[in-house]
Structure 1
């Protein structure tokens, strides 16, 4: 589904569990290769993602040369952010225009997170919405610059205090545009014990007027983290995506691949089937069980015609074909029209009214 269509179909006050809008975060896992980027698009579409998202930056405008790392150095040995970004900042306006065309051809939506004013400006013509990185949640001028394009914003909230999220939301509100908040933990990878998926419910509590989602950095394993986040109400999910999880470095080691995506959808379909809807009701499949397992009022002994019923004449047993025990007070004091035998199921046509 297209993102704008998805937004129009959503109501933040409807808590029915549903399939989320899935963003396969390719980031810079293309490593500067258009062929690899095309493959990532094709495999994300094959896996069932709604969108594939890249990252658009230049090392010189995103980080100073002495910016330290904050990722697992056992998986990505580069100790400087600037040095790492230099490895993957080869794509620019022309390349992203090509990727947008490929996405259109493959039937998957194109997104890319901009990290500077220049990239945000040219990406505006290519995307239905802006993704704001957790790293920019305190970047007031940049958030306002993107909001001024009057497109929906998807804002990750990693490493943020509640007041910082509230502040960022207050900068976006005056532009009167749709906003999606993504719970996110800024650990690469995020250990399961730090995933803190309960924050999805916390965000729903503090920001009831907005859709809440989840940006995941845990290891994919059986995709249980994404399943749990969906069951907690995440409407938009973003997770790093690769064609080969065994590749060293950068974002391959905590990414999902197309088979993980397929596995997620299969498991989610089963979970949604188990949940059903949230209405309190008797299911049609329970009708026979209810008739046989519930009880009726039953005669405790032979009751001659013309007898006035007392409590001593009555007990309750299965099945529920006769008068329900909930009507016992209405039955006491009624006169029998026929002889009734012990253990008969009592019905209303046996009594005088």
Structure 2
């Protein structure tokens, strides 16, 4: 069975999904706010609290244009936006990793440069690679050489690019890998979510656990996460905030603690409803099988030695006699005793 070890959990198609609360830079440079967001993620039921580790100078050129909804985040330059939120370094991430360990949630941060790959290695249980870096061969190689599990987002990628990234990772030492469907829109309109692409990834890469990284606006039912789970996603990532009304950054398409709690309650019910995959009678159906199914029944009084014809028989509940499954086998047999009307015919009532 395909699986991947994420933190203390083994994730497979039969497991509860691994939920990543993507705090990213929604802490806006405050270590105390970052710690608060970790605690909220834990209280909401996330498995991991994830950040983003970058420096604007190594991530984007100074003339890099925006690719997000500028009516929500008004900064027009990637460099300028990233510069606003790159104040955390090794010291801060170490403190946040320690805080995660203290409260019992996995610490993650996506590295966006080679130096970050190195210092995060001792802090994280696995690497998450952003969609935009699926073509960043040097970064993929550096991460793979660390020998840890890798979760790779595939937003805006075609199958050839995904296959190329997989080959680079494997050739460089990665032995545990999962793929996340993602749409690289911020935010992602529902009509762009294309959650069925999870099925496409499953078909193209059946050896890997598949997940979903979501950028849609959360609704009261957390529909995007629920549908993606039902389509087979077993790693679920969504941006996370303490206040969805805040402007800019990733607040405007993030979930909050109430959304996360609500989703976990819905998920718990859905997983109970799902049950087993092998079709068979279950224990609670035993009485129903016995009393709601039918038996072959005498339609009139029968004399010993009489040959059974269809006109002499009917079928009624309960299933205390011969099942109508054997109707053709019963027709033409002789009864070995007198039988009263409405009697459920049993095999011992028939001559050999």
SS of residue matched to 1:145: helix
1:71 maps onto 2:68 in alignment? yes
Pairs within 5 Å for 1:1-353: 3-6=6-9, 9-11=10-12, 15-16=13-14, 18-174=15-171, 175-222=173-220, 223-353=222-352
TM-score (norm: length of structure 1): 0.94
Specify the SS of the correspondent of 2:180: strand
TM-score when scaled to structure 2? Answer: 0.94
Q: Hey, what's the Cα distance between the residues in 1 that align with 2:42 and 2:311?
A: 72
Range moving further from structure 2, 281-290 or 199-208? 281-290
Report the alpha carbon displacement of residue 336 of structure 1 after superposing the two structures with TM: 2.4
Is the Cα contact below 8 Å between 1:19 and 1:230 reproduced in 2?
no
CA contact (8 A) 2:46 2:260 kept: yes
Output the CA distance in 1 between the equivalents of 2:277 and 2:318.
Answer: 29
Q: Where in structure 1 do 4 or more consecutive aligned residues deviate above 4 Å? A: none
Cα deviations by residue, 1:103-146 (Å, 9 ceiling, x for unpaired):
11111111111111111111112111111111111111111111
Q: Separation in 1 of the partners of 2:168 and 2:225? A: 29
Which blocks of at least 5 consecutive residues in structure 2 are unaligned? Answer: none
Q: Distance in 1 between matches of 2:174 and 2:27?
A: 35
CA pair 26-105 structure 1, distance change in 2 beyond 3 A: same
> Greater shift after overlay, 316-325 or 75-84?
316-325
1:58 touches 1:89 (CA, 8 Å); kept in 2? Answer: yes
User: Does the CA contact (< 8 Å) of 1:211 and 1:235 recur in 2?
Assistant: yes
Q: What are the superposed Cα offsets for residues 243-289 of structure 1, whole Å, 9 maximum, x if unpaired? A: 11111111001011111111011001111111111111112222332
Per-residue deviation, residues 172-201 of structure 1 (Å, max 9, x unmatched): 112142111110000001011111111111
For the Cα contact (< 8 Å) 2:315–2:324, is it kept in 1?
yes
Q: List gaps (5 residues or longer) in structure 1.
A: none
Q: C-alpha distance in 2, partners of 1:203/1:158?
A: 12
Q: How many angstroms does 1:309 deviate by?
A: 2.6
Contact 2:144-2:170 within 8 A present in 1 as well: no
Counterpart CA distance in 2 for 1:186 and 1:177 is: 26
Give the direction of change, closer, same or farther, for the CA distance of 1:53–1:214 in structure 2 (3 Å limit): same
Contact 1:334/1:352 (<8 A) preserved: yes
RMSD: 1.6
* Number of aligned positions between the proteins: 347
- Distance in 2 (CA, whole Å) between partners of 1:124 and 1:216 is 25
Q: What CA distance in whole angstroms lies between the structure 1 residues aligned with 2:307 and 2:168?
A: 77
Task: Give the conservation status (yes or no) of the 8 Å contact 2:150–2:174.
Answer: no
Contact 1:71 1:188 in 2 (8 A): yes
